[in-house]
Amino acid sequence: MRFIREFPIIVALSFLFGLAFTGLVLGPVFASDIAQPSAKLVAYTPIEQAGRHIYVREGCVYCHSQQVRNVKADQNMVDAYGVSKAGDYYYDLPHLLGTSRQGPDLSNEGQVWGKASGDFAREYLIGHFKNPREYNSQSIMPSYSYLSDRELEELTDYVQSLGAWKVTPDPTEAEASS
């Protein structure tokens, strides 16, 4: 045969692609730490889920990551909240890990501006969504004043849920979410 027929090429390519597919797609399905939630992790409440939807819709993920890595750059967060684990994301669909940090990481925002801080934290978050530069003149975060009050409440609930479960969860809240 003087020339390469396309058929063997296709078989070989399928084999190579199939290998990677098996390794990166099928393999993780059987990884035990992915298949079960972290201890203490609670599912999102319907309101938090609605807030999460707004987070997705407005593309917050493009500037805010939600993962703390065990590296020097994240050392402060590792010390304060620990490294993110696969099980922490058990209820996340779609995932919102993020790839860029135009703004700070939010995986533990529920501890930074959490419910424990009361109305003050809530007012801060809503005010900051509406006009970020009122709080930090250098901030480049867009103003979300176009969201309705209800949407802002939902988004705030979601943001306050992030990582909040890591500190002993409020029993009533755990009940409401189950």
Partner 1 sequence: MTTSPVSKTAPALSPDNDRLNFPQMIAIPALERRDYAMQTWLFSGVFWMVVAASIGVIEAVKLFYPEFLQGIPALAYGRLRPVHVNIGIFGFMSMGYLGAAFYMVPRLTQTALYSETLGVLTAWAWNLNLTGGVLAILMGFSKGKEYEEMPFPFDMMVGLLEIAIAGNIFSTITVRKEPRLYVSLWYILLAIIPFPIYYTLGNVMKFRGIEDAIVNWFYSHNLFGLWLTTLGLATLYYIVPKQLNKPLYSHAISFLGFWTLAAFYPWNGGHHVIWGPVPMWVMSASVTASIAMLIPTISTMVNFGGTAWGTQGVMKRDISYRFSIFAYLSYVGTSLWGSGLAIMDLNAKLHFTSTTIAHVHLGFVGFGLAGLAAFVYFYLERSLKLGYSRTLAEWHFWLTTIGVVGYVVSMGWLGWLEGSDWAAGGSVQGVLELRYWYNVARAGSGGLLLIGQLILVWNIWKTMTSPPSDGKGLDDLKLVSLNEGVSR
Among 17, 127, 150, 176, binds partner 1 (CB under 8 A): 17
Structure letter (DSSP) for residue 82: -
Cβ proximity to partner 1, 31 vs 171, nearer residue: 31
Output 30 or 120, the one with its CB closest to partner 1: 30
Cβ atoms of 163 and 110 within 8 Å: the answer is yes
Q: Which x/- pattern, by CB under 8 A, does the window 38-77 give for partner 1?
A: ------------------xxxxxxxx-x-x-xxxxxxxx-
CA pair distance 106, 64, nearest whole angstrom? 6
CB-based contact 137:152 (threshold 8 Å): no
Rg (the chain; Cα; Å): 21
DSSP state of 100: -
Q: By CB under 8 A, is residue 80 in contact with partner 1? A: no
Residues 98, 99, 104: CA angle, nearest 5 degrees: 70
Which parts of 97-116 interact with partner 1 (CB under 8 A)? 97-105
With respect to partner 1, which residue has the nearer C-beta, 17 or 175?
A: 17
Q: Does 149 bind partner 1 (CB under 8 A)?
A: no
Residue closer to partner 1 by CB (options 24, 39) is: 24
Q: Measured at the alpha carbon of residue 167, what is the angle toward residues 127 and 102, in degrees to the nearest 5?
A: 45
- Which region among 9-17, 43-51, 116-124, 153-161 touches partner 1 (by CB under 8 A)? 9-17
